[in-house]
Amino acid sequence: MHRLMSVGSVIEVDHSSEQTSARVTSDISLHLGIVEALRMLEPLGFGIRDGSVRVEVDNLEYGAAVALSGSVKVRYRVGKLTPKKAGAFVAVWRRAQDGSTEPFPAEDDIDLLVVIAREGPGFGMFVFPKAALVEHGIVSAAGRGGKRGFRLYPSWSVTTSPQAQRTQRWQSGYFLDLSRPDAIDALRARRLCNVVQPASSSCAGVVESVGVRDRWKHEEWSSPTAS
């Protein structure tokens, strides 16, 4: 048995037991929400290249990691629920040379930002290509603009303010509902991930997960501090 750091906890992994929660090669652990989404999409040919996972320590509480899917580099995050606002919040920043925080730049080598969302029985993922991140001011361009975090509104979020409704409308074009594993829209999944080539090794070769779907089915990821 050895210990793997996961977001908010340490997962004990016993390879002789059928209760393994999650394991990634090279002893790097992914948030279980990311694991679950990848397992659902595996039949469509999407996965993570073996040995390519890199944890981003600065945003670790948001399941921060980067990995290759085929030749495409994907940044992963897990949104956090907040008690007084609809939707979820996610942090997307890096540490600048002077120690301050700054938005990720459009000039980096990331092709997609994938953010996992869960609330009650609702489960899904946003797949934002770089062009959308630039258009909506999430990343900086030529050193200007960008955000260190932003709010996400999955299809089940009830929005009331005009600003939240506008945000939900544009984000809806990049959302894939995974609430029902037997009813995933394969055409939409392929359209959203069309820049992601099938990985050289499938999820099964990278992630082992027994009972993850049941364990997380009714849990909510919440944060009392995220704004």
Cα dist. 99→1, 93, 110, 111 in Å? 37, 12, 22, 25
| pTM for this model (two decimals) | 0.76
Instruction: Give the CA-trace dihedral at 142, 162, 172, 48, to 10 degrees.
Output: 50
Q: Write down all domains in the chain, each with its CATH number in brackets.
A: 31-200 (3.40.1350.140)
Q: Are 218 and 122 in contact (CB under 8 A)?
A: no
pLDDT tens digits along 9-30 = 333 333 333 322 333 334 357 8
- Walk along the chain (227 residues) and give the pLDDT tens digit of each residue: 222 233 333 333 333 333 223 333 343 578 999 989 988 888 887 788 888 899 999 999 999 999 988 888 999 999 999 888 999 999 999 999 899 999 999 999 999 999 999 999 999 999 999 999 999 999 998 888 999 999 999 999 999 999 999 999 999 999 999 999 888 999 899 888 765 444 333 333 333 332 333 333 334 444 434 44
Q: Are 206 and 22 in contact (CB under 8 A)?
A: no
